[in-house]
Chain A
């Protein structure tokens, strides 16, 4: 199969973050010394220009917290010049008036703010730090300056019951789109799975509320409801396929096919400090490793579903079965499918109030877990 040019660049500017969400999809290894060796302003600028040349259309400025980088405004300007549509994915707390105005001026296209819950106390508890009030201020500010606003809420057992209030909050903030993203169990969320996984009842209620809200609100606010794959019996096509449309660049310049790929042993990632981006996209080992790959089970799929789901997520296959080459165990035909159904059964036994302590995301905790 011929390799097409990428459409999306996910730029993880830094893994530093003032928040500590236990569901954070960042890798467990955020505290590793190599990630402290962040790309310079010049490196990122060159990368954005190369990305534009390579046909990338969309740029996500993310992390960690992208705004811990003092040069986020300058990088936004470079992105604009390179023809990229820029989307700032922020927790909101550092989105102050000075910075917001400078970002607007630099040509930032969209602002996405994540909120942990509609209830301030719970939101701060999940974030592991006082942050709710600043997020709300940031959202108002984004609207005041005329940015289109996306609100992102990662859903799990501890906040799903408030989905109605969460939607109402997003409406009040004037979001044009709300991502109600049921937690995927990647990175820190995998360690916290037991504390996060919702019950079937909670999910069904959530879905009802979303359907009713869509009906009531109409086209003025788009509601995206992302089902948790653990509750399905066929997997999701991770990232739209391994290195098909998107690439991720980590704070130190490694180029990955997805945000979790650093967990896969034996993958050698090329770094933008050493090779041009185009060369990495088309030639790097890591990008090519699973590009045309079909897991054994999928070759004889009774549903003939491979073109739809591509056998699911390589990183989830690795995390659960120990081999990234296995079919994603979310699939009902996976010999390891019980790993998923057992986790679901256990979450439902625990019930909506079942606890489980959070392991908060910190650079220090990297070493402990």
Chain B
């Protein structure tokens, strides 16, 4: 049963938050049952998932940071992967 995931304006689900783990020196995503470590790319994408920015906005912002490279496809894939694991939702849901 794969629902087609529609992600326009991504946001962290209720009860999820980002946290800088200073002991392990990495970002982690915290949620009721636990925590997962994030690589720097995932963290920088999730930081921008504020329920206002669209996927395109996020890609554009990251692109600027990375000297204009086209990152849209990468951002989309990453977000879909996180959405499949229940770590990102669309703001409309």
Contact = CB atoms under 8 A, between A and B. Distances in A.
B68 interface: no
B32 A218 contact: no
A148 B33 CA distance: 11
B58 interface: no
Contacts of B17: 85, 109
Interface string A49-86: 00001110110000000000000000000000001010
B65 interface: no
A57 B19 contact: yes
Contacts of A110: 15, 32
Interface size class of A (residues with CB under 8 A): 20 to 34
A57 B3 CA distance: 32
Contacts of A176: 14-15, 32
Contacts of B49: none
Interface in B8-56: 13-15, 17, 19, 21, 23-24, 28, 30-35
> SS class of chain B's interface: helix, strand, loop or mixed?
loop
A58 B24 contact: no
A5 interface: yes
B86 interface: yes
A148 B23 contact: no
B1 interface: yes
A215 B1 CA distance: 8
Given A109-B15, A109-B17, A218-B1, A55 B32 contact: no
A87 B32 contact: yes
Contact of B19 (A83, A148, A215): A83
Interface residues of B, number: 18
Given A85-B17, A109-B15, A58 B1 contact: no
B35 A85 contact: yes
Contacts of B30: 57-58, 85, 109
Nearest to A8: B34
Given A57-B28, A58-B30, A85-B30, A7 B35 contact: yes
Contacts of A236: none
Contact of B14 (A53, A112, A148, A215): A148
Closest 10 CB pairs of A and B: A148-B15, A55-B23, A85-B30, A110-B32, A57-B35, A148-B14, A5-B23, A110-B15, A148-B32, A150-B32
Interface of B: 1, 3, 13-15, 17, 19, 21, 23-24, 28, 30-35, 86
Given A109-B30, A147-B15, A148-B13, 10 more contacts: A5-B23, A7-B34, A54-B23, A57-B28, A57-B35, A58-B34, A85-B19, A112-B32, A177-B33, A219-B86
Interface of A: 5, 7, 53-55, 57-58, 83, 85, 87, 109-110, 112, 146-148, 150, 176-177, 215, 218-219, 222
